[in-house]
Amino acid sequence: MCGRFSLSVNKVEMSKYLEEFYDIEKYPDSIELPRYNVAPGQNVLSVIYYENKYHAGLLKWGFVPSFAKNESIGNRMINAKAETLTEKRAFINSFKHRRCVVLADGFFEWHREGKKKTPYRIAHKEKAIFPMAGLWSTYTKPDGTKMYSCTIITTSANKTVEKIHDRMPVILSEEMRKIWLDPEMTDLRMLTNLLVPTDDEALYYYEVSSTVNNAANDLPECIEAIDA
Nearest-CA neighbor of 133 among 45, 194, 55, 88?
194
Spatial strand order in the sheet of 106-113: 35-38, 5-7, 106-113, 116-124, 203-207
- Give, for 55, the enclosing helix (H) or strand (E): strand 53-61
Phi, psi of 83, rounded to the nearest 5 degrees: -70, -20
| Distance, CA of 45 to CA of 60 (rounded, Å) | 9
Per the residue annotation, which of 2, 100, 150, 222 is the catalytic one?
2
Alpha-carbon distance values, 20 to 15, 16, 46, 49, 115 (Å)? 9, 6, 16, 16, 45
Q: Is 222 a catalytic residue?
A: no
Let me know if 109 is a catalytic residue.
Answer: yes
Write the CB contacts of 79 (distance below 8 Å, at least 6 apart in sequence): 1, 2, 3, 151, 152, 153, 154, 167
Q: Which of 181, 167, 93 is nearest to 134 (CA)?
A: 181
Catalytic residue among 100, 109, 150, 222: 109
Active site (catalytic) residues: 2, 109
